[in-house]
Chains A and B, each alone.
Chain A
Amino acid sequence: MERIALFPGCLVLQRMPQYEKATKEVLNAIGIQSESIPRAACCGAPLESFTDRWLRFAAYNLSLAERMGLDVVTLCGNCTNTLLRANVALEDPSLRREVNEVLSKMGLRYDGKTTVQHLVQLLTERLDELRARMTRQLSLRVAVTHPCQAFRPHEVTCFDDPLEPQAMRQIVALTGAEVVDYVAEHDCCGSTLYLVDKELGLEAGRRKLASVAGADVLVDACGNCHLLLERFRGFLGNSERGSKLVVLTLPQLLGLAMDIDAADLGISAASGRAIAEAVA
């Protein structure tokens, strides 16, 4: 069985085992075994605003995967972007030498042999395998929100249309669901903004959800998006209360179309009921 190293990142690791579990279920269904990376750390992103040491954290994680002989699959836009940019930066021989001096103290070495892909990109390369596993057509109206940093900068990600990505729409369409357009589809969720200015971040989320009105499900593929659009929904104000919109991660939706038990996908009972009602 093909194997990959799954890098959930701090946010998914700490708060969203459901997203990671659903990912493992779906990848397993298409013949990919995902392994955790023992002793992996933060990707390095939170350090970059303060110090160049971020590159060492990224290289450390990549060197662990390299030692396992596995390519990395990420679940969060920010980790994806950071690890990919590290791979580019470390093409520079002097930076690589400096990083390897540090890594050698742990018996590790970075040789740039590990590729990094966001889950959406991996799944885009496996559309036939996914299609073959779809056992149930989901008669749902689904809106998608794209993990910004998995697509930009395009010169680093080299994936999809950087301003209007289509990959997630293509994947969701395999489930039989109707992929609906909405005005704020390509706008950022506001999650990172929340870290700096709570009200601006929530306003971005509010506009996004208001614009999605009419869909049964909003699908995301990033810990940050899921945090703001699903976990923080209670903070998004009165207009959101009573809304029947269910926010799922991409593998959770795919898992439903594969007839994987909702509980194994970490889908809450309330969300499960709302989806059942929408399908009926």
Chain B
Amino acid sequence: MKERTLDELLEDCTRCGRCREVCIVERLGGHSITSFLCGDENYSSWLCSSCWRCQEVCPQGVDIHTIMMLKRREQEPPPGYEANLVNVMSFGYALPMDDGVNELRRVHGLDAVQFMPAERVEILLQGDMVEKQEDR
């Protein structure tokens, strides 16, 4: 698949502002990727509720999600996202999974879960990620 660069993805945008109108972050007083699309540099690519409303209403069909993901890789992540990343890379889940999880499941009458073995996480992460990003 030919991946489009940030500039190519932005070519479709006419700065009509429809995305910003429906953005809950903007309504709450924050500035999301939709501000960036409207030409405003005061925004954070991380400030997003992941509701996908902006992309759904875009009359040009701009791939706002991918634009945001590319901008995120240039901007410092918030601690919450970083913690989830570290968790997934360490043991395969966004949140810590221990025996307590299965104990709680037992209390609720659920079967015990077989967790993902650590060596499988390593296999899935094989390869140099930084290099991959620079490939873009």
Contact = CB atoms under 8 A, between A and B. Distances in A.
Given A13-B101, A149-B50, A102 B124 contact: yes
A22 to B, nearest CB: 9
B116 A197 contact: no
A93 B126 CA distance: 20
A13 B91 CA distance: 15
Chief secondary structure at chain A's binding surface: helix
Contact of A50 (B29, B52, B85): B85
Interface string A86-110: 0001001011000000100110000
B6 interface: no
B43 interface: no
B88 A46 contact: yes
B30 interface: yes
Nearest to A10: B94
Contacts of A92: 1
Given A51-B133, A153-B56, A193 B25 contact: yes
Interface stretch (B11-19, B34-42, B75-83): B75-83
A57 B121 CA distance: 9
A24 B133 contact: no
Contacts of A53: 124-125, 127, 129, 132
Contacts of B87: 46
Contact of B50 (A40, A94, A148, A203): A148
23 contacts: A10-B94, A11-B95, A13-B113, A15-B95, A21-B110, A36-B114, A41-B121, A42-B92, A46-B88, A47-B85, A49-B69, A49-B73, A51-B129, A57-B88, A78-B50, A148-B51, A190-B24, A193-B49, A195-B78, A195-B81, A197-B30, A197-B78, A204-B49
Interface of B: 1, 24-25, 28-30, 44, 46-53, 55-57, 65, 69, 72-73, 77-78, 80-81, 84-85, 87-89, 92-97, 101, 104-105, 107-111, 113-117, 120-121, 123-127, 129, 132-133
Interface of A: 10-11, 13-15, 17-18, 20-21, 24, 36, 38-42, 44-53, 56-57, 60, 78, 81, 89, 92, 94-95, 102, 105-106, 148-149, 152-154, 162-163, 187-197, 200-201, 203-204, 264, 266
